[in-house]
Amino acid sequence: MGAVIQAVERLSTNSDLVADGSRGNTLPTVVGKHKDLNAIAPETMSEVLNGSFDQHIDQLTVIDCRYPYEFEGGHIRGAINLFTKDAVQNFLNETVTSQDMNHVIIFHCEFSSERGPKMYRHLRSLDRELNKESYPRLNFPEVYLLEGGYKAFYHQFKNQCFPQTYVPMLKQEHANDLRHFRVKSKSWAAGDKPRHRSRVVTTGRTVRLAF
C-alpha cells in the first residue's frame, strides 16, 4: 500500500509525467479543452510524423475515432480507424507491449471534443482495470489527444493527410451513414460522462488517485 500511495502522490503533483509515473512526457503538451487528458498541438503532431521524436518513440499509433466515411474521406497518414469501444478494447487486448518499449498513442476525432476524448478515457479505464493489481503500471502509459482534431490538423498540414481531403461528420450526403454509425458506436450514450478521479485516503489527508 505504501508504494501505491507514493505513486499516487508522485502522479498527482507532477503533470509532466506519463500516467504510470515512470518517466516524463515525450511530447510537449498544451492546455486543452479536456483538463484530465494530455493534449498536443497540431504542430507537434506534424513534427511526430516528420520523425522529430523518433529517438524517443519506439512505436506510434494514431487512433482516429471518426466514423468510417469521415476517415475514408481523408485522414492523417498512418492512422487507424477505431470508432467503437469494442474496437478500442480489441486494440488493447491484441497489441503486444513491453515495459522497455515506449509506445505512444495519439487519439483524435473531427474536433477532439467528444469522440476522441471518450475513447482516450475508455482505453485508460480498461488499461487501469487490466493492471489493477500492479498500480500504477499501464500497458499504454503515454497517451495524448490531438487538440482541435482532424479539422485543425488538416487545415495546417494537408500534405500529411491521405487523401488530402476533409469530410465533415455532418456532411448532408452522409446523413444515413451518420445515423447508422452513431447508433453503432453509441458515442452519445446517456450517462457516458468523463470519469471523476478516484481517491485514496490516508491518515489525516486525502490523496487523489491519478487517472
Residues 93 and 91: their CA atoms lie apart, in Å, by 6
- Ramachandran class of 201: left when φ > 0, alpha when ψ lies in -120 to 50, beta otherwise: beta
Q: What is the CA radius of gyration of the chain?
A: 18
> Of 157, 144, 165, 146, which Cα lies nearest the Cα of 70?
165
Q: Is the distance from CB of 111 to CB of 74 less than 8 angstroms?
A: no
Q: Which three cell numbers stand for residue 136?
A: 500504477
For the question of residue 65 being annotated catalytic, the response is: no
Kindly provide the b/e burial profile for residues 77-105, where b requires at least 16 CB atoms within 10 angstroms of the residue's own CB. Answer: eebeebbbbebbeebbeeeeeeeeebbbb
Residues 94 and 59: their CA atoms lie apart, in Å, by 15
Marked catalytic residue, from 109, 119, 143, 210:
109
Pairing of strands 80-81, 143-146: unpaired
Residues 12 and 24: their CA atoms lie apart, in Å, by 14
Residues marked as catalytic? 109
